[in-house]
Structure 1
Amino acid sequence: MSHNDKPINGQGNPSFLDVLSQTPPTPPALEPDGKHGTRRLARLRAAWKASWEEGGFLYQRWEEVVQARNGGHGVANWIKAAALLGGLSLIVMMVDTAGDIASATLKGLSALPATNTGDGGGLWGTVDHPVRVFLADQAAHLAVAPAALHAFWQLTGLLSLIGGFFRNSGARITWGLFGGVSLAMVWSASPAGGRAAATGLAALMWALASFFALRGLTLQPIVHNHLPQFQPQFNPALHLHATLPAPTPAGDDSGDDVHPLQR
Protein backbone atom coordinates (compact mmCIF):
# COMPACT_ATOMS: atom_id res chain seq x y z
CA MET A 1 0.00 0.00 0.00
CA SER A 2 1.31 3.42 -0.85
CA HIS A 3 2.05 5.77 2.02
CA ASN A 4 1.31 8.88 -0.03
CA ASP A 5 -2.49 9.13 0.16
CA LYS A 6 -3.03 12.88 -0.03
CA PRO A 7 -0.58 15.59 -0.98
CA ILE A 8 0.18 18.10 1.74
CA ASN A 9 1.53 21.51 0.65
CA GLY A 10 2.69 20.04 -2.63
CA GLN A 11 4.47 17.14 -0.94
CA GLY A 12 3.51 13.56 -0.26
CA ASN A 13 2.02 12.36 3.03
CA PRO A 14 4.99 10.86 4.93
CA SER A 15 4.64 7.72 6.97
CA PHE A 16 5.60 7.33 10.59
CA LEU A 17 8.98 5.86 9.66
CA ASP A 18 9.64 8.75 7.27
CA VAL A 19 8.91 11.28 10.00
CA LEU A 20 11.11 9.34 12.38
CA SER A 21 14.03 9.34 9.94
CA GLN A 22 13.65 13.09 9.29
CA THR A 23 13.41 14.10 12.95
CA PRO A 24 16.59 15.93 13.94
CA PRO A 25 18.57 14.22 16.68
CA THR A 26 18.75 15.68 20.15
CA PRO A 27 22.01 17.50 20.83
CA PRO A 28 24.35 15.46 22.99
CA ALA A 29 24.55 18.34 25.47
CA LEU A 30 20.89 17.87 26.35
CA GLU A 31 21.26 14.18 27.09
CA PRO A 32 21.49 13.36 30.79
CA ASP A 33 24.56 11.59 31.98
CA GLY A 34 24.35 7.87 32.57
CA LYS A 35 21.25 7.34 30.44
CA HIS A 36 21.39 5.78 27.02
CA GLY A 37 18.69 5.94 24.44
CA THR A 38 17.27 9.32 25.44
CA ARG A 39 17.92 10.71 21.96
CA ARG A 40 16.05 7.80 20.38
CA LEU A 41 13.06 8.24 22.69
CA ALA A 42 12.95 11.94 21.87
CA ARG A 43 12.91 11.19 18.17
CA LEU A 44 10.12 8.66 18.65
CA ARG A 45 8.11 11.16 20.67
CA ALA A 46 8.55 13.85 18.05
CA ALA A 47 7.64 11.48 15.22
CA TRP A 48 4.54 10.31 17.13
CA LYS A 49 3.32 13.88 17.66
CA ALA A 50 4.01 14.82 14.05
CA SER A 51 2.07 11.80 12.75
CA TRP A 52 -1.01 12.75 14.76
CA GLU A 53 -1.05 16.35 13.60
CA GLU A 54 -3.48 17.32 10.86
CA GLY A 55 -2.22 15.81 7.62
CA GLY A 56 0.05 13.32 9.38
CA PHE A 57 0.22 9.64 8.60
CA LEU A 58 -1.63 8.35 11.68
CA TYR A 59 -4.10 11.25 11.45
CA GLN A 60 -5.03 10.22 7.91
CA ARG A 61 -5.40 6.58 8.92
CA TRP A 62 -7.75 7.55 11.75
CA GLU A 63 -9.82 9.66 9.37
CA GLU A 64 -10.13 6.66 7.05
CA VAL A 65 -11.37 4.52 9.94
CA VAL A 66 -13.96 7.14 10.94
CA GLN A 67 -15.22 7.50 7.36
CA ALA A 68 -15.22 3.75 6.65
CA ARG A 69 -18.90 3.30 7.55
CA ASN A 70 -19.94 5.80 4.87
CA GLY A 71 -17.21 5.00 2.39
CA GLY A 72 -18.97 2.20 0.49
CA HIS A 73 -16.62 0.86 -2.18
CA GLY A 74 -14.24 3.71 -1.47
CA VAL A 75 -13.04 2.28 1.83
CA ALA A 76 -9.27 2.11 2.13
CA ASN A 77 -7.74 -1.17 1.02
CA TRP A 78 -5.97 -1.75 4.32
CA ILE A 79 -9.31 -1.58 6.16
CA LYS A 80 -10.84 -4.10 3.74
CA ALA A 81 -7.87 -6.42 4.17
CA ALA A 82 -8.01 -6.15 7.97
CA ALA A 83 -11.77 -6.84 8.02
CA LEU A 84 -11.37 -9.81 5.68
CA LEU A 85 -8.53 -11.25 7.75
CA GLY A 86 -10.52 -10.78 10.97
CA GLY A 87 -13.62 -12.44 9.47
CA LEU A 88 -11.65 -15.42 8.20
CA SER A 89 -9.95 -15.81 11.58
CA LEU A 90 -13.32 -15.73 13.34
CA ILE A 91 -14.75 -18.37 10.99
CA VAL A 92 -11.73 -20.62 11.54
CA MET A 93 -12.08 -20.24 15.32
CA MET A 94 -15.81 -21.05 15.20
CA VAL A 95 -15.27 -24.12 13.02
CA ASP A 96 -12.44 -25.33 15.25
CA THR A 97 -14.54 -24.79 18.40
CA ALA A 98 -17.54 -26.57 16.87
CA GLY A 99 -15.30 -29.49 15.89
CA ASP A 100 -13.92 -29.74 19.43
CA ILE A 101 -17.43 -29.68 20.91
CA ALA A 102 -18.70 -32.34 18.52
CA SER A 103 -15.65 -34.52 19.18
CA ALA A 104 -16.05 -34.20 22.95
CA THR A 105 -19.76 -35.01 22.71
CA LEU A 106 -19.17 -38.14 20.63
CA LYS A 107 -16.39 -39.28 22.97
CA GLY A 108 -18.68 -38.73 25.94
CA LEU A 109 -21.44 -40.76 24.35
CA SER A 110 -19.03 -43.56 23.50
CA ALA A 111 -17.71 -43.62 27.07
CA LEU A 112 -21.15 -44.01 28.65
CA PRO A 113 -21.35 -47.13 30.80
CA ALA A 114 -23.72 -49.89 29.87
CA THR A 115 -27.01 -49.38 31.70
CA ASN A 116 -29.93 -51.60 32.38
CA THR A 117 -32.25 -52.03 29.43
CA GLY A 118 -35.22 -51.19 31.62
CA ASP A 119 -38.15 -53.24 32.78
CA GLY A 120 -40.54 -52.05 30.06
CA GLY A 121 -43.16 -50.87 32.54
CA GLY A 122 -45.55 -48.01 31.86
CA LEU A 123 -46.54 -46.39 28.60
CA TRP A 124 -43.12 -44.92 27.96
CA GLY A 125 -41.39 -48.16 28.90
CA THR A 126 -43.52 -50.02 26.37
CA VAL A 127 -41.98 -47.88 23.64
CA ASP A 128 -38.53 -47.26 25.11
CA HIS A 129 -37.76 -50.85 26.16
CA PRO A 130 -38.00 -52.34 22.63
CA VAL A 131 -35.77 -49.54 21.34
CA ARG A 132 -33.16 -50.30 24.01
CA VAL A 133 -33.29 -54.01 23.22
CA PHE A 134 -32.96 -53.42 19.48
CA LEU A 135 -30.00 -51.03 19.92
CA ALA A 136 -28.29 -53.43 22.35
CA ASP A 137 -28.56 -56.28 19.83
CA GLN A 138 -27.17 -54.11 17.05
CA ALA A 139 -24.37 -52.68 19.22
CA ALA A 140 -22.99 -56.20 19.71
CA HIS A 141 -21.82 -56.04 16.08
CA LEU A 142 -20.59 -52.44 16.25
CA ALA A 143 -17.70 -50.70 17.98
CA VAL A 144 -19.99 -48.53 20.12
CA ALA A 145 -21.72 -48.97 23.45
CA PRO A 146 -25.49 -49.59 23.52
CA ALA A 147 -25.93 -46.68 25.93
CA ALA A 148 -24.25 -44.37 23.41
CA LEU A 149 -26.66 -45.45 20.66
CA HIS A 150 -29.65 -44.91 22.92
CA ALA A 151 -28.41 -41.48 24.00
CA PHE A 152 -27.87 -40.51 20.36
CA TRP A 153 -31.39 -41.68 19.51
CA GLN A 154 -32.85 -39.52 22.29
CA LEU A 155 -30.72 -36.52 21.32
CA THR A 156 -31.84 -36.77 17.68
CA GLY A 157 -35.48 -36.82 18.67
CA LEU A 158 -35.09 -33.88 21.05
CA LEU A 159 -33.22 -31.68 18.58
CA SER A 160 -35.58 -32.43 15.71
CA LEU A 161 -38.57 -31.70 17.97
CA ILE A 162 -37.16 -28.33 19.02
CA GLY A 163 -36.07 -27.43 15.50
CA GLY A 164 -39.44 -28.41 14.08
CA PHE A 165 -41.19 -26.21 16.65
CA PHE A 166 -39.25 -23.27 15.25
CA ARG A 167 -40.31 -24.30 11.71
CA ASN A 168 -36.93 -25.49 10.51
CA SER A 169 -37.39 -27.60 7.37
CA GLY A 170 -34.36 -29.80 8.00
CA ALA A 171 -35.45 -30.51 11.56
CA ARG A 172 -38.93 -31.50 10.36
CA ILE A 173 -37.47 -33.91 7.82
CA THR A 174 -35.30 -35.40 10.58
CA TRP A 175 -38.37 -35.67 12.80
CA GLY A 176 -40.17 -37.70 10.16
CA LEU A 177 -37.19 -40.04 9.74
CA PHE A 178 -36.88 -40.33 13.51
CA GLY A 179 -40.51 -41.40 13.84
CA GLY A 180 -40.29 -43.97 11.05
CA VAL A 181 -37.07 -45.51 12.40
CA SER A 182 -38.46 -45.60 15.93
CA LEU A 183 -41.62 -47.41 14.80
CA ALA A 184 -39.50 -49.94 12.91
CA MET A 185 -37.37 -50.62 16.01
CA VAL A 186 -40.43 -51.00 18.24
CA TRP A 187 -42.03 -53.42 15.78
CA SER A 188 -38.85 -55.48 15.48
CA ALA A 189 -38.01 -55.82 19.19
CA SER A 190 -41.46 -56.01 20.79
CA PRO A 191 -42.87 -59.41 21.87
CA ALA A 192 -44.88 -61.14 19.19
CA GLY A 193 -48.09 -61.08 21.22
CA GLY A 194 -48.03 -57.30 21.86
CA ARG A 195 -46.15 -56.12 18.78
CA ALA A 196 -49.11 -54.40 17.16
CA ALA A 197 -50.18 -52.67 20.39
CA ALA A 198 -46.66 -51.43 21.15
CA THR A 199 -46.17 -50.12 17.63
CA GLY A 200 -49.58 -48.44 17.64
CA LEU A 201 -48.84 -46.81 21.00
CA ALA A 202 -45.49 -45.56 19.68
CA ALA A 203 -47.23 -44.14 16.59
CA LEU A 204 -49.76 -42.29 18.75
CA MET A 205 -47.01 -40.82 20.93
CA TRP A 206 -45.11 -39.70 17.87
CA ALA A 207 -48.30 -38.18 16.39
CA LEU A 208 -48.99 -36.23 19.60
CA ALA A 209 -45.45 -34.91 19.68
CA SER A 210 -45.84 -33.91 16.02
CA PHE A 211 -48.32 -31.24 17.14
CA PHE A 212 -45.29 -29.27 18.30
CA ALA A 213 -42.71 -30.44 15.76
CA LEU A 214 -44.97 -29.72 12.77
CA ARG A 215 -46.51 -26.55 14.14
CA GLY A 216 -48.04 -24.43 11.38
CA LEU A 217 -47.55 -27.04 8.66
CA THR A 218 -50.51 -27.29 6.26
CA LEU A 219 -51.22 -29.42 3.21
CA GLN A 220 -53.39 -26.78 1.56
CA PRO A 221 -51.68 -25.03 -1.33
CA ILE A 222 -51.04 -21.36 -0.79
CA VAL A 223 -52.24 -19.24 -3.69
CA HIS A 224 -50.99 -15.69 -3.98
CA ASN A 225 -53.16 -13.40 -6.07
CA HIS A 226 -51.25 -10.32 -7.11
CA LEU A 227 -53.04 -7.71 -9.17
CA PRO A 228 -50.88 -6.16 -11.84
CA GLN A 229 -49.52 -2.79 -10.85
CA PHE A 230 -50.38 -1.24 -14.19
CA GLN A 231 -53.64 -2.50 -15.70
CA PRO A 232 -53.91 -2.10 -19.47
CA GLN A 233 -56.75 0.10 -20.61
CA PHE A 234 -58.70 -0.75 -23.76
CA ASN A 235 -60.30 2.05 -25.74
CA PRO A 236 -62.28 0.53 -28.62
CA ALA A 237 -62.57 2.84 -31.64
CA LEU A 238 -63.87 2.41 -35.17
CA HIS A 239 -61.61 3.75 -37.89
CA LEU A 240 -63.11 4.34 -41.38
CA HIS A 241 -60.74 4.95 -44.26
CA ALA A 242 -62.35 6.72 -47.29
CA THR A 243 -60.42 7.32 -50.51
CA LEU A 244 -61.42 10.59 -52.20
CA PRO A 245 -60.80 11.14 -55.98
CA ALA A 246 -58.26 13.70 -56.98
CA PRO A 247 -59.80 17.04 -58.03
CA THR A 248 -60.11 17.63 -61.81
CA PRO A 249 -58.25 20.67 -63.14
CA ALA A 250 -60.44 23.54 -64.38
CA GLY A 251 -61.26 23.38 -68.16
CA ASP A 252 -60.40 19.69 -68.47
CA ASP A 253 -63.56 17.73 -69.34
CA SER A 254 -61.85 14.83 -71.07
CA GLY A 255 -62.29 12.54 -68.19
CA ASP A 256 -65.93 13.39 -67.49
CA ASP A 257 -68.68 11.07 -68.70
CA VAL A 258 -71.44 13.41 -67.66
CA HIS A 259 -71.49 16.99 -69.00
CA PRO A 260 -73.69 19.66 -67.61
CA LEU A 261 -76.74 20.62 -69.66
CA GLN A 262 -76.24 23.61 -71.88
CA ARG A 263 -78.94 25.87 -73.12
Structure 2
Amino acid sequence: MPSHDKPVNGQDNPSFFDLFDQTPPPPVLELDGKHGTRRLAKLRAAWKESWEEGGFLYQRWEEIFQARHGSWHEIANWIKGAGLLAGISLIVMMVDTAGDIASATLKGLSAAPATNAGDGSGLWGTVDQPIRLFLADQAAHLAVAPAALYAFWQLTGVLSLIGGFFRNSGARIAWGLFGCVTLAMVWSASPAGGRAAATGLAALMWALASIFALRGLTLRPIVHNHPPQFQPQFNPALHLHATLPAPTPSGDDYGDNIHPLQR
Protein backbone atom coordinates (compact mmCIF):
# COMPACT_ATOMS: atom_id res chain seq x y z
CA MET A 1 0.00 0.00 0.00
CA PRO A 2 1.54 3.37 -0.94
CA SER A 3 1.99 5.79 1.93
CA HIS A 4 1.60 9.55 1.82
CA ASP A 5 2.45 10.41 5.40
CA LYS A 6 4.86 9.65 8.20
CA PRO A 7 4.69 6.14 9.68
CA VAL A 8 2.65 5.79 12.84
CA ASN A 9 3.92 3.29 15.40
CA GLY A 10 6.21 1.71 12.84
CA GLN A 11 3.41 1.24 10.30
CA ASP A 12 2.56 3.12 7.12
CA ASN A 13 -0.11 5.79 7.40
CA PRO A 14 -2.29 5.50 4.25
CA SER A 15 -3.94 8.55 2.81
CA PHE A 16 -7.68 9.02 2.57
CA PHE A 17 -7.72 8.32 -1.18
CA ASP A 18 -5.81 5.06 -0.71
CA LEU A 19 -8.41 3.93 1.79
CA PHE A 20 -11.16 4.94 -0.58
CA ASP A 21 -9.70 2.96 -3.49
CA GLN A 22 -8.92 -0.15 -1.47
CA THR A 23 -11.99 -0.33 0.76
CA PRO A 24 -14.25 -3.12 -0.52
CA PRO A 25 -17.94 -2.35 -0.77
CA PRO A 26 -20.41 -4.04 1.63
CA PRO A 27 -21.45 -7.54 0.50
CA VAL A 28 -25.11 -6.60 0.21
CA LEU A 29 -24.35 -3.73 -2.09
CA GLU A 30 -22.23 -5.95 -4.37
CA LEU A 31 -25.45 -7.60 -5.58
CA ASP A 32 -26.94 -4.23 -6.38
CA GLY A 33 -26.29 -2.95 -9.85
CA LYS A 34 -26.22 0.71 -8.84
CA HIS A 35 -22.65 1.96 -9.27
CA GLY A 36 -23.35 5.20 -7.37
CA THR A 37 -24.54 3.31 -4.29
CA ARG A 38 -21.41 1.18 -4.16
CA ARG A 39 -19.17 4.24 -4.56
CA LEU A 40 -21.01 6.08 -1.78
CA ALA A 41 -20.58 3.10 0.51
CA LYS A 42 -16.84 2.99 -0.20
CA LEU A 43 -16.61 6.71 0.53
CA ARG A 44 -18.34 6.30 3.88
CA ALA A 45 -16.14 3.37 4.84
CA ALA A 46 -12.95 5.23 3.89
CA TRP A 47 -14.08 8.32 5.81
CA LYS A 48 -14.80 6.27 8.92
CA GLU A 49 -11.50 4.39 8.74
CA SER A 50 -9.44 7.56 8.22
CA TRP A 51 -10.79 8.96 11.50
CA GLU A 52 -9.77 5.89 13.47
CA GLU A 53 -6.56 5.98 15.53
CA GLY A 54 -3.57 6.05 13.17
CA GLY A 55 -5.70 7.10 10.19
CA PHE A 56 -4.92 9.93 7.81
CA LEU A 57 -7.45 12.49 9.09
CA TYR A 58 -6.89 11.42 12.68
CA GLN A 59 -3.18 12.12 12.33
CA ARG A 60 -3.80 15.52 10.74
CA TRP A 61 -6.10 16.49 13.59
CA GLU A 62 -3.46 15.44 16.13
CA GLU A 63 -0.88 17.62 14.38
CA ILE A 64 -3.21 20.61 14.56
CA PHE A 65 -3.85 19.97 18.25
CA GLN A 66 -0.12 19.64 19.01
CA ALA A 67 0.77 22.78 17.02
CA ARG A 68 -0.84 24.97 19.68
CA HIS A 69 1.73 23.92 22.27
CA GLY A 70 4.79 23.15 20.13
CA SER A 71 7.53 25.36 18.76
CA TRP A 72 7.95 26.40 15.13
CA HIS A 73 10.31 23.52 14.39
CA GLU A 74 7.88 20.98 15.86
CA ILE A 75 4.91 22.09 13.76
CA ALA A 76 4.05 19.97 10.72
CA ASN A 77 5.22 21.31 7.37
CA TRP A 78 1.74 21.46 5.88
CA ILE A 79 0.57 23.67 8.77
CA LYS A 80 3.54 26.00 8.23
CA GLY A 81 2.77 26.22 4.53
CA ALA A 82 -0.90 26.98 5.13
CA GLY A 83 -0.04 29.64 7.72
CA LEU A 84 2.52 31.33 5.45
CA LEU A 85 0.11 31.29 2.52
CA ALA A 86 -2.64 32.86 4.65
CA GLY A 87 -0.23 35.50 6.01
CA ILE A 88 1.03 36.45 2.56
CA SER A 89 -2.52 36.70 1.24
CA LEU A 90 -3.48 38.96 4.15
CA ILE A 91 -0.47 41.22 3.57
CA VAL A 92 -1.27 41.50 -0.15
CA MET A 93 -4.87 42.43 0.65
CA MET A 94 -3.75 45.06 3.21
CA VAL A 95 -1.22 46.60 0.82
CA ASP A 96 -3.78 46.71 -1.98
CA THR A 97 -6.36 48.33 0.30
CA ALA A 98 -3.83 50.86 1.62
CA GLY A 99 -2.86 51.74 -1.94
CA ASP A 100 -6.48 52.37 -2.89
CA ILE A 101 -7.02 54.57 0.19
CA ALA A 102 -3.86 56.58 -0.47
CA SER A 103 -4.78 57.03 -4.14
CA ALA A 104 -8.29 58.22 -3.25
CA THR A 105 -6.90 60.64 -0.64
CA LEU A 106 -4.40 62.17 -3.05
CA LYS A 107 -7.07 62.54 -5.74
CA GLY A 108 -9.34 64.25 -3.21
CA LEU A 109 -6.60 66.67 -2.21
CA SER A 110 -5.81 67.49 -5.82
CA ALA A 111 -9.48 68.20 -6.60
CA ALA A 112 -10.11 70.24 -3.43
CA PRO A 113 -11.55 73.70 -4.06
CA ALA A 114 -9.62 76.81 -3.17
CA THR A 115 -9.95 77.81 0.45
CA ASN A 116 -10.66 81.27 1.73
CA ALA A 117 -7.45 83.01 2.68
CA GLY A 118 -9.16 85.12 5.35
CA ASP A 119 -8.16 88.56 6.50
CA GLY A 120 -5.18 87.48 8.59
CA SER A 121 -6.51 88.92 11.85
CA GLY A 122 -5.75 87.41 15.25
CA LEU A 123 -2.78 85.43 16.45
CA TRP A 124 -3.56 82.39 14.34
CA GLY A 125 -4.26 84.49 11.28
CA THR A 126 -0.89 86.19 11.63
CA VAL A 127 0.78 82.81 11.17
CA ASP A 128 -1.76 81.13 8.89
CA GLN A 129 -2.13 83.99 6.38
CA PRO A 130 1.54 83.99 5.25
CA ILE A 131 1.46 80.21 4.87
CA ARG A 132 -1.60 80.38 2.62
CA LEU A 133 -0.06 83.16 0.54
CA PHE A 134 3.24 81.32 0.20
CA LEU A 135 1.58 78.07 -0.89
CA ALA A 136 -0.71 79.87 -3.34
CA ASP A 137 2.29 81.62 -4.91
CA GLN A 138 4.22 78.38 -5.25
CA ALA A 139 1.21 76.43 -6.57
CA ALA A 140 1.02 78.85 -9.50
CA HIS A 141 4.21 77.26 -10.84
CA LEU A 142 3.18 73.68 -10.03
CA ALA A 143 0.54 71.27 -11.35
CA VAL A 144 -1.30 71.18 -8.03
CA ALA A 145 -4.01 73.26 -6.41
CA PRO A 146 -3.12 75.60 -3.51
CA ALA A 147 -5.79 73.93 -1.39
CA ALA A 148 -4.09 70.56 -1.87
CA LEU A 149 -0.75 71.97 -0.69
CA TYR A 150 -2.38 73.58 2.32
CA ALA A 151 -4.24 70.35 3.21
CA PHE A 152 -1.03 68.35 2.89
CA TRP A 153 0.76 70.83 5.15
CA GLN A 154 -1.97 70.43 7.76
CA LEU A 155 -2.00 66.63 7.45
CA THR A 156 1.78 66.46 7.92
CA GLY A 157 1.57 68.57 11.07
CA VAL A 158 -1.24 66.53 12.61
CA LEU A 159 0.33 63.13 11.88
CA SER A 160 3.78 64.16 13.12
CA LEU A 161 2.25 65.67 16.28
CA ILE A 162 0.30 62.50 17.06
CA GLY A 163 3.22 60.22 16.21
CA GLY A 164 5.60 62.29 18.31
CA PHE A 165 3.21 62.12 21.26
CA PHE A 166 3.50 58.32 21.09
CA ARG A 167 7.31 58.64 20.97
CA ASN A 168 7.81 57.60 17.37
CA SER A 169 11.28 58.64 16.20
CA GLY A 170 10.29 59.12 12.56
CA ALA A 171 7.32 61.28 13.53
CA ARG A 172 9.53 63.45 15.73
CA ILE A 173 11.95 63.99 12.85
CA ALA A 174 9.00 64.94 10.63
CA TRP A 175 7.78 67.33 13.35
CA GLY A 176 11.15 69.08 13.42
CA LEU A 177 11.18 69.46 9.63
CA PHE A 178 7.56 70.65 9.72
CA GLY A 179 8.45 73.40 12.17
CA CYS A 180 11.48 74.56 10.18
CA VAL A 181 9.53 74.67 6.91
CA THR A 182 6.65 76.52 8.56
CA LEU A 183 8.96 79.19 10.00
CA ALA A 184 10.60 79.62 6.58
CA MET A 185 7.22 80.10 4.88
CA VAL A 186 6.07 82.62 7.51
CA TRP A 187 9.32 84.58 7.19
CA SER A 188 9.15 84.60 3.39
CA ALA A 189 5.50 85.66 2.98
CA SER A 190 5.02 88.01 5.95
CA PRO A 191 5.11 91.80 5.45
CA ALA A 192 8.56 93.30 5.79
CA GLY A 193 7.58 95.45 8.77
CA GLY A 194 6.17 92.58 10.85
CA ARG A 195 8.25 89.71 9.52
CA ALA A 196 10.25 89.19 12.70
CA ALA A 197 7.16 89.35 14.95
CA ALA A 198 5.18 86.89 12.79
CA THR A 199 8.08 84.44 12.63
CA GLY A 200 8.66 84.70 16.37
CA LEU A 201 4.98 84.10 17.06
CA ALA A 202 5.04 81.03 14.80
CA ALA A 203 8.14 79.76 16.62
CA LEU A 204 6.40 80.14 19.99
CA MET A 205 3.31 78.26 18.77
CA TRP A 206 5.49 75.48 17.40
CA ALA A 207 7.43 75.32 20.69
CA LEU A 208 4.20 74.99 22.69
CA ALA A 209 2.98 72.20 20.43
CA SER A 210 6.38 70.52 20.80
CA ILE A 211 5.60 69.94 24.48
CA PHE A 212 3.26 67.19 23.31
CA ALA A 213 5.15 66.10 20.19
CA LEU A 214 8.48 65.71 22.01
CA ARG A 215 7.06 64.25 25.19
CA GLY A 216 9.70 62.41 27.20
CA LEU A 217 12.60 63.53 24.98
CA THR A 218 15.74 64.44 26.93
CA LEU A 219 19.13 65.78 25.89
CA ARG A 220 20.96 64.37 28.89
CA PRO A 221 23.40 61.59 28.02
CA ILE A 222 22.25 58.14 28.99
CA VAL A 223 24.86 56.24 30.96
CA HIS A 224 24.56 52.46 31.04
CA ASN A 225 26.34 50.91 33.96
CA HIS A 226 26.97 47.39 32.80
CA PRO A 227 29.41 45.07 34.54
CA PRO A 228 32.46 44.17 32.48
CA GLN A 229 31.93 41.23 30.24
CA PHE A 230 35.16 39.54 31.30
CA GLN A 231 36.01 39.70 34.98
CA PRO A 232 39.33 38.51 36.40
CA GLN A 233 39.03 35.30 38.30
CA PHE A 234 40.77 35.14 41.69
CA ASN A 235 41.37 31.61 42.87
CA PRO A 236 43.35 31.57 46.14
CA ALA A 237 45.67 28.57 46.46
CA LEU A 238 47.97 27.41 49.27
CA HIS A 239 51.36 26.13 48.20
CA LEU A 240 53.40 24.05 50.70
CA HIS A 241 57.14 23.57 50.17
CA ALA A 242 58.66 20.54 51.92
CA THR A 243 62.44 20.13 52.40
CA LEU A 244 63.65 16.59 51.98
CA PRO A 245 66.46 15.38 54.31
CA ALA A 246 69.89 14.76 52.89
CA PRO A 247 70.72 11.16 51.99
CA THR A 248 72.52 9.05 54.62
CA PRO A 249 76.25 8.51 54.02
CA SER A 250 77.32 5.06 52.96
CA GLY A 251 79.29 4.32 56.14
CA ASP A 252 76.55 5.22 58.61
CA ASP A 253 75.68 2.47 61.13
CA TYR A 254 72.13 3.67 61.61
CA GLY A 255 69.30 2.76 59.45
CA ASP A 256 67.65 5.02 56.99
CA ASN A 257 64.80 5.90 59.37
CA ILE A 258 66.78 6.09 62.66
CA HIS A 259 69.06 9.05 63.48
CA PRO A 260 70.95 9.80 66.76
CA LEU A 261 69.49 12.41 69.06
CA GLN A 262 71.74 15.46 69.03
CA ARG A 263 71.63 18.33 71.45
TM over 0.5: yes
Instruction: Give the counterpart letter for 1:51 in structure 2.
Output: S
Determine the structure 2 residue equivalent to 1:39: 38
CA distance in 1: counterparts of 2:50 and 2:241, whole angstroms? 85
1:134-213 residue pairs with structure 2 within 5 A? 134-213=134-213
CA deviation after TM superposition for structure 1 residue 61, in Å: 0.5
Query: How far does the alpha carbon of each residue in 1:151-203 deviate from its partner, in whole angstroms, 9 at most, with x for none?
Result: 00001001111111111111111100000000000000011111111000000
Aligned residues: 247
Determine the structure 1 residue equivalent to 2:97: 97
Instruction: Give the counterpart letter for 1:5 in structure 2.
Output: K
Determine the structure 1 residue equivalent to 2:218: 218
Change (3 A) 1:76 1:237: closer
CA deviation after TM superposition for structure 1 residue 230, in Å: 9.3
Query: How far does the alpha carbon of each residue in 1:17-55 deviate from its partner, in whole angstroms, 9 at most, with x for none?
Result: 1111112235265578xxx73333222222211111111
Q: Does the alignment pair 1:6 with 2:16?
A: no
TM-score calculated relative to the size of structure 1: 0.83
CA distance in 1: counterparts of 2:139 and 2:39, whole angstroms? 73
Determine the structure 1 residue equivalent to 2:50: 51
Change (3 A) 1:239 1:116: same
Secondary structure, counterpart of 2:104 in structure 1? helix
Change (3 A) 1:21 1:235: closer
Determine the structure 1 residue equivalent to 2:68: 69
Identity fraction in percent: 82
Change (3 A) 1:39 1:235: closer
CA distance in 1: counterparts of 2:247 and 2:18, whole angstroms? 96
1:239-258 residue pairs with structure 2 within 5 A? 249=249, 251=251
Change (3 A) 1:75 1:139: same
CA distance in 2: counterparts of 1:50 and 1:244, whole angstroms? 88
Change (3 A) 1:31 1:238: closer
Instruction: Give the counterpart letter for 2:54 in structure 1.
Output: G
CA deviation after TM superposition for structure 1 residue 70, in Å: 3.0
Q: Structure 2: state its 5+ residue gaps.
A: 253-263
CA distance in 2: counterparts of 1:7 and 1:165, whole angstroms? 57
CA deviation after TM superposition for structure 1 residue 250, in Å: 5.1
CA distance in 1: counterparts of 2:75 and 2:238, whole angstroms? 63
